[in-house]
Each structure stands twice: as C-alpha cells, then as structure tokens.
Chains A and B, each alone.
Chain A
Amino acid sequence: MSGKNAMAEEQAIQAELVGKFPFLDSKVRIARARRMFAEAPADRTGEVLGHLQDRMHFSILCTITGLDLGATLGVVYHLARPGGIVLSLSTAVPKEKPVLQSVTARFPAAAAYERELMDLLGFQVEGVPEGPRYPLPDNWPAGQHPLLKDWKPDSLPGAPRKRD
C-alpha cells in the first residue's frame, strides 16, 4: 500500500456511512489504519449496526464495552470485518433509564457481553435470551453494579470492614 492511499478503505467506509446516515456527519473518525470510531444516537444504533453487518461486511462482533460517563451510561460495539478494520460504534443512554435493545438476533455471541452490561453497570437490555446471569454470583444483591464509578466494595450490604 502506498502512503497516500494507505487508508483508502477506511475513507470509503467513512464516506458510505455518512452518505447513508446523515446524522453520522463528522461523527466517524479514522484513528489510524484499521481503527475507526463512530458515534450514533441511541435510537439509531440498531439501524447502523444492521447496515454495517448486512452491507459492509462487519460480520464480527469483537465485544461490547460499557462505560460510566457520569450523567449517562456509554456503550461501545466493537465490530470487525475480514481484512482487519475495526469500527467501534458508541452511543449513550440516560443513567435513570439505561435501556438498550439486544443485538443477539444479529450476533448470538453478544448474549454474554450484554449480560456483563446488565450485571456490572446496571443496563436493562431488552430481548436478551433467557439464561443464567453473568458474571456475578446468583446471590449478589440487587442494585449493586460494581463498574459504576461511585461503587466501592464497601457499598455492599454486610461488607466487612477493611483490615488494617
């Protein structure tokens, strides 16, 4: 690949996404070769994911990352396609009502990643298939989500005092 056209593929993906979804204008960033980041409103994420999978060969969901962003909860879908380009599509939902739609119909392996969001950050994921919780124990108290920034081990009911 010559230096000038080294990122032609990434630029084509950027142009196609912005052309198809005008709300992504200036929201698709090429960080380096093979690494792209995009931001979409929560109610449009499903559409963008569908287009990426069906029309743009992003057939691999590497994982889903949940983030505590203060007033909102963030979620990042890391999608990859053969050839090595990874597009991380992020969105945010209000902390009082952190509702997401499950993507397991498209990516069956997402079930474990979505359960992590539910256990560790308190997301409500609608449509995740039935199954045991993950990764916290069955007797873990409700409403305790360890990856929230204000959560400390001491917040657990009945937590022992710290040893000296």
Chain B
Amino acid sequence: MPDANLQVPIGPQHPALKEPTSFMLTLSGEKILKAGVRLGYNHRGIEKACEARTYIQDLYLVERICGICSHSHATAFAMAVEECAQLEVPRRASYIRSLVGELERVHSHLLWLGVAGHEVGFDTLLMYTWRDREVVMDLLAMLTGNRVNYGINTIGGVRRDVSSDQKLKILEGVKVLEERTKYYITVATEEVTLAKRLSGVGALSHDDAVRLGAVGPTARASDVPRDCRKDDPYAAYAEVPVNVITDNHNDVYGRTLVRCGELMECYRLIRQLIENLPEGPIAVKAPRKVPAAEAFVRYEAPRGEDVHYVKSNGTEKPERVKVRAPTLANVQAVAHMLKDGYLADLPIVVAAIDPCFSCTDRLIEVEGSARDGVMTWGQLREYGIEWHRKRGVDFSRLNSRFRAGENR
C-alpha cells in the first residue's frame, strides 16, 4: 500500500537537536522506510574567507569552525601549514597539543554522554555528566585561558607553556574524572533501562560502516578499528601510543560503550603525556610567507577523522584551504541507520554520531541578506512583536522602556 506512506519533514529547526538540519522521512506507521538528510544551514564561507586572510588569521578562523572540537581544527590546520613551510615543531609543543587534544576529547565525550541521556529521557545523566564536565572545562581554562576556542596553537608550536603546578592540578582533576567515569561505565553496563533503550537502535553493520565511510566512535562501535592517532600518528602520538577502543554491538549502545572506554583511555594518555613531557622550547619562529607546497593532515577529533588540506603559493595567504569534518563522513551512515527504525528513535540515532553541523557546513559571507537587506536590532524586535501579535500574543506593552532603538 504505497499510498499509506507518509512523508514527514523534520527541521531544519526542531527540538531534537541544537543545530539546524533537515530530514525528510517516509513513514509507514511508526516505521521509517526512507530518510533523506539536507545539510548546509550552517554554511558560513570559511574556506573562501581563509583565502583572503593570512595564515595566522586563518588559524583563529578555523578554530571557530566548531565550538567543541575547536582545538582539533586549529591543530590540523597548523600542522598542514607547518608541513608546507617545512617547520620542525618542538617536541614539547607536540606534547602540549596532544594534552589539550585529549582534554578536549574528555569534555566532548562527557558532553555527548549527557546529550545521549537527555535524548532518551534520562536527564539525571545529563545533569551529572555536565556537572563533572566542569572539572575538565576548568582545566582547559587554566591551561589556555579559555573554556572553548582555546587559542593554544600558533604556526610553529604552541603559545603557552605548562607549569609544574598546572601539571599537578591536571592530575588531580583527572583523578576525579576517572572515578566519575567508572561510575558511568557501571550505569551503562548495569542499568537495564538504559541498555534496553539503546540496544539494537541505529544499527550499522561492520560492512556498512566500512562501505559508507563512517569515522570515529561511530565506526569503532561497528568494530572498525580506525583511529588516526594510531594509523597515522601526529603530534605526540608516535611516542605515546593509543589503544584503539572498539565494540561489536553495532548500535547506539555500542557507541556509548566506545565513548566511555575512550574516556578511560584519555585519562591514561593525559597522565603519560604529563609524565613524559619533554623539556625545551614550545615554538619555532614561522615565516609570514609560505613557499608553494601542499599538505594533507588527518586528525582524530572526538567525533572522528577531521581532515585538512592546505595548498600554499609563496605568499602570506593560502591558495586553498579544504576542511572535511567527521560529521559529513558520517551522514550517509545516519541515513542508513534511520532506515527500518522507528520515528521515536530519530533523536538518539542522530545524536549518537555526535553530529556537529557547524563543522560540517563551514564555508559566503554576505553582509545582510541578499533579498531583504539589513535589519537593525530595533527593526528585528518590531518584526518579532508583529509576528506574535498576528498570532494573538501582544508583547508590545511589556518592557516598554526597551522600545525599538532605545535598548541599552
């Protein structure tokens, strides 16, 4: 009965995810027969903008591709530029990059665990993990000066050193986080409600994960042992080897276990990086102009393989910067996972790849809208009030001292 099938558009703005993306689902009853994904709502023109700016300006721009794995993009870009310029980064700088990278992974995975809890109605988990995540956010703020968009990198190394006092504080923080993560692993493995809610949901077989090019914890939970830190070591990972965490549940439950396992591996790596942190300088001087060359870098971001391609042309601005964030590689897999699943599983299946659409879309910076011109703050407010008034809600008498044009 093809006529009984229903097409349901979800998004781009919807309560299931914090970022815009749009799904077109074909349903038979509660079952999803086909899922189409439309991306691009966060396209900002960053690759084009990079071509008009200097390498050091670009470093700060690419760091803002994502608000969570910002260090991943900045490090990948810096490494690509350093390879084009044939710079040898000091060992201590490589260790500090890996250290911040692992702390970033801890913050990202704890954040994900909370979001996953929220999507299945287990909000206590959200409250717990996000409270604990503050420990690692404080450590990142202490090391870099920022909670997000750390700005620790520069072309040729890092900008801030790690003191022995900071090392102790990191070790103390990691101890707390490790205890908490052990508790979450107990919850994930022994809490029947959670295991039953996540098992068999968003299935992705090993062969499909390989065929569709899945990356990161999404691939590793389908028993694909791909991790750039091990396969293609960068920064300090050649000297501080990583144990790749995999699982063969091939579903959202497996993706939860992989991320919990990776948190424990992060703590081990952080301790080892601190223990073996070499002495020496933290940066070498980088030239403003980079000779014509090309470089391709793979970086294992919390969500999976992040790739940067940089082509230089002898000037102080790049010829081309290309970024492929992990979510774009996982989108095909998501469409596949949704198929034959239930509509009510959509939020957790999508959340389980830990999507980041700002990363994915990156790229036309146009000032104002080409069609409608530029709105002032006051006009936007008037527009909002009018929009609601037409629907029977009158805000105009509220907060009268904040009338259009007089705000602040």
Interface residues of A (CB under 8 A from B): 31-32, 34-35, 37, 59-63, 65, 67, 76, 78, 80, 82-84, 86, 88, 107-109, 111-113, 120, 131-137, 139, 146-147, 149, 151, 153, 156-160, 162-163
Contact = CB atoms under 8 A, between A and B. Distances in A.
B328 A160 contact: no
B143 to A, nearest CB: 29
A78 B307 contact: yes
23 contacts: A35-B296, A60-B226, A62-B296, A62-B307, A63-B329, A65-B309, A65-B322, A78-B309, A107-B213, A108-B213, A112-B332, A134-B39, A137-B40, A146-B48, A146-B363, A146-B364, A147-B48, A153-B366, A156-B364, A156-B366, A158-B370, A159-B366, A160-B367
B392 interface: no
Given A61-B213, A131-B36, A135-B363, 12 more contacts: A32-B83, A37-B294, A60-B226, A63-B329, A112-B39, A120-B363, A134-B40, A137-B40, A147-B47, A147-B48, A149-B51, A159-B370
Q: Which of A34, A108, A137, A139 has the most CB of B within 10 A?
A: A108
Interface string B31-50: 00000101110010101100
Interface residues on B, range: 35 or more
A139 B367 CA distance: 17
Contacts of B296: 35, 62, 78, 86, 88
Interface in B333-374: 361-368, 370-371, 373-374
B231 A84 contact: yes
B322 A63 contact: yes
B324 A136 contact: no
A135 B361 contact: yes
A16 to B, nearest CB: 21
B63 interface: no
A86 B298 contact: yes
Contacts of A86: 232, 296, 298
Contacts of B83: 32
Closest 4 CB pairs of A and B: A109-B213, A84-B232, A63-B324, A135-B40
B311 interface: yes
Contact of A156 (B39, B231, B370): B370
A153 B378 CA distance: 26
Nearest to B38: A132
Contacts of A61: 213
A20 B329 CA distance: 31
B332 A108 contact: yes
B322 A59 contact: no
B305 interface: yes
